[in-house]
Amino acid sequence: MDGTSLPQPAPAPSAPAALRVGVIGLGVMGGPMAGHLARAGHAVAVHDARRGAAEALAAAHAGMRACASAAELAAHSDIVVTMLPNGHVVRDVVFSERTGLLAGWHAGALLLDTSSAEPWLTRETADRLAAHGIAMVDAPVSGAAWGAEAAELVFMVGGSAPDVARVRPLLDAMGRAVFHLGALGAGHTMKCLNNLVTAVTLAATAEGLALGTRAGLDPAAMTDVLNESTGGSWVSRTHIHQRVLNRRFDDPFKLALMRKDMDIALGLAEAQQVAAPLSAAAHGLWQAADQDRGPGASVSELVRWVEAQMGVEIRSGAATDVPVAAAA
């Protein structure tokens, strides 16, 4: 040997330290997310308003703890992940007397809200928590149920850099991409805008396919053309063949939730004193579809509502008339 030092291999990255994490909201998104956190080695406590949901999930994951209340969960968690319908529900879960998170939390804890919520409510909740020494990060998701199950969610994040760094191991365990968009509330702002664009795109795609079907084109072929052309979108790639042409209309995301996200986006536009005429027009269509389709309807039902308005089914083969009265 000539005494020259040889290059040394870089040390292997250390695994993130196990964290005490709580998850509240164990539906089609929150349940799989909690499972990924448990498999990543974190100590996970879970709670849900539905009787038995937390116990069933905990039974499927070694070491997971089911909690009877948010306060009990907070006592076992340094970071709590919420996946709830809106910011009002998040606020109730945090501040409910005796049973809320705040009743069981300690200073230094952190709320990681992955719900699709109103950014102004997020900031209000964060301000109240800060008075108790508790931080907050908003990190709503895109990716739908399949993304939650496959740990391929996309997180849109708002919060201070140190707080985001603190929750980053959890986001990495649950998703494939993390975008830090700015201060607290930025994540929820981006989420409502993302869903606003998606909603307008779904309505426009449905109208175009219905019109083309009426004119004698095969909607399966039209969808293939869109996917190779400038009219293509996430909607045309993942929704039409998969849920419309087969007549399943079975996306687990609810139509009412999409309408709620549009409400948030248009509320943001009003607060910013910005006109959004195209979005407002689309919002009216989604409101009508929501009222017509009824509680619990899939977001896919927007397409069936468009079919009823235009009097044609988007079905491969010959165009099929649909009574317009069905939308009444």
Per-residue pLDDT of the chain (328 residues; tens, 9 = 90+): 444 444 444 444 445 678 999 999 999 999 999 999 999 999 999 999 999 999 999 999 999 999 999 999 999 999 999 999 999 999 999 999 999 999 999 999 999 999 999 999 999 999 999 999 999 999 999 998 889 999 999 999 999 999 999 999 999 999 999 999 999 999 999 999 999 999 999 999 999 999 999 999 999 999 999 999 999 999 999 999 999 999 999 999 999 999 999 999 999 999 999 999 999 999 999 999 999 999 999 999 999 999 999 999 999 864 444 443 322 2
List, in order, residues 6 or more apart from 142 with CB less than 8 Å away: 153, 154, 156, 191, 194
The pLDDT assigned to 230 comes to: 98
- Specify whether the CB–CB gap between 213 and 235 falls below 8 A: no
Instruction: Read off the tokens for 78.
Output: 């340094």
The pLDDT assigned to 323 comes to: 41
Residue 88: closest CA among 112, 115, 54: 115
Q: Which entry of 47, 191, 239, 315 is annotated as an active-site residue? A: 191
The pLDDT assigned to 164 comes to: 98
Residue 260 falls in the annotated catalytic set: no
- Specify whether the CB–CB gap between 249 and 301 falls below 8 A: yes
Rounded-to-integer distance, Cα 279 and Cα 233, Å: 17
> Coil, strand, or helix at residue 16?
coil
The pLDDT assigned to 319 comes to: 43
pTM of the shown model: 0.88
Distances (CA, A) of 188 to 179, 194, 200, 257, 268: 12, 10, 19, 14, 11
Tell me the residue ranges of DSSP E strands in the chain. Answer: 20-24, 43-47, 65-66, 79-82, 110-113, 135-138, 141-142, 153-158, 175-182
The pLDDT assigned to 16 comes to: 60
